[in-house]
Amino acid sequence: MKLDSMLSAALPPAFIDNVTSIWGAAGRRWLAELPTRTAEVLSDWQLRANGTYPLSINWVAPVQRADGTSAVLKLGLPTAGHIAQEGTALEFFGGDSAVRLLARDDARGALLLERARPGTPLSSLVPRQDERATEVLIDAIRRLHRPAPVEIALPDLLTHGDAFTQYLRDHQGDEPLPRHLVERASRLFVELCATATERVVLHGDLHHDNVLADHGPAGGPEQWLAIDPHGVVGDPGYELGAMLYNPPGPTSEDDIVMDLLFARIEQLAAGLDLPRERVVAWGFVQAVLSEVWNSQGSGPVGRRPLRVARALLPQLPG
């Protein structure tokens, strides 16, 4: 069987549904072209694919390079811009606490990335070693966050506020989310951005499943490397929100993670020398924003992020 036929047959239905629900006709065209485009990139970059990773909205596979080393190939819808933003963020991070970018082709929406080995996610430490997991995230933030160059081709964090505006325009009542929470988060988001003391390059989705253990090809000392950055520029505190309602897991685990919420807040505030109220505020804003994004896509609404938002609401300033 030809490679493009193999790739086409291997696309999971959930992956197809995700892509088409987010990008509509453009997503369907990309999916139709994906087998041929993938085969071209594999050939041009002299790569050999060996299966795929679980697919969400991008095609991602472990590959072997011509020199025998391992890497990861990632393809996404080029016109969506998220692959180019990920590439720009990884170039900026330069392999310090993030996987290295080995090659990029923005026109074809392709990235070749360093492969973390063994690639165990940081979520493996939760809940038994949650304090250690938070230490790893704090260390990653300290290394990743550097002032954003004026010319860097990444969006401003303020653009994320468009999701709140769109939601409030489309939904007048309390379904699928309580309107007063979305309104409060929208106002607070603008206030937090306006009072930022720094503008840094943010990972944008830094949580336990986006940080992997790596010992290198020779089995060296353990380090933790971030993957899948969204790439955005703005207030450092924004980085903290996603790690308060993650990692995802069965509903039965929600109470366990909720019990860790305030200990994480205290540790993050102390470890990053940030006011506790600012950590709480960003945690609330991002929990609501996560639910807003879910309501606009295909994700479930009203789960753990909403519980986190409700828990933090009484502790918000004012």
pLDDT band of residue 217 (cuts 50, 70, 90) is confident
Indicate whether 55 pLDDT > 60: yes
Topology annotation, domain 121-315: Aminoglycoside 3'-phosphotransferase; Chain: A, domain 2 (3.90.1200)
pLDDT digit string, tens, across residues 122-144: 999 999 999 999 999 999 999 99
pLDDT digit string, tens, across residues 145-165: 999 999 999 999 999 999 999
In whole angstroms, give the CA distance from residue 95 to residue 80.
25
* Average pLDDT rounded to a whole number, residues 6-21: 81
> HEC states along the chain?
CCHHHHHHHCCCHHHHHHHHHHHHHHHHHHHHHHHHHHHHHHHHCCCEECCCCCCCCCEEEEEECCCCCEEEEEECCHHHCHHHHHHHHHHHHCCCCECCEEEEEHHHCEEEEECCCEEEEHHHHCCCCHHHHHHHHHHHHHHHCCECCCCCCCCEHHHHHHHHHHHHHHCCCCCCCCHHHHHHHHHHHHHHHHCCCCCEEECCCCCHHHEEEECCCCCCCCEEEECCCCCEEECHHHHHHHHCCCCCCCHHHHHHHHHHHHHHHHHHHHHHCCCHHHHHHHHHHHHHHHHHHHHHCCCCCCCHHHHHHHHHHHHCCC
Superfamily per CATH, domain 3-114: Phosphorylase Kinase; domain 1 (3.30.200.20)
β-strand partners of 260: none
Question: In whole angstroms, what separates CA 203 from the centre of its chain?
Answer: 7
In whole angstroms, give the CA distance from residue 172 to residue 59.
37
Q: Are 31 and 11 in contact (CB under 8 A)?
A: yes
Query: Residue 298: its pLDDT value, please?
Result: 61
pLDDT band of residue 250 (cuts 50, 70, 90) is low
Look at 5-19, 65-79, 104-118, 192-206 and tell me which has the smallest mean pLDDT: 5-19
pLDDT band of residue 220 (cuts 50, 70, 90) is confident
Dig out the tokens for 24 from the structure: 């509509």
Task: Tell which wins on pLDDT, 1 or 301.
Answer: 301
pLDDT digit string, tens, across residues 61-114: 999 999 999 999 999 999 999 999 999 999 999 999 999 999 999 999 999 999
Query: Residue 251: its pLDDT value, please?
Result: 62
Domain ranges in the chain? Answer: 3-114, 121-315
In the chain, the amino acid numbered 188 is L
pLDDT digit string, tens, across residues 170-185: 999 999 999 999 999 9
pLDDT band of residue 2 (cuts 50, 70, 90) is very low
Query: Residue 260: its pLDDT value, please?
Result: 94
Query: Residue 317: its pLDDT value, please?
Result: 81
Mean pLDDT rounded to a whole number for the chain = 93
Query: Residue 91: its pLDDT value, please?
Result: 98
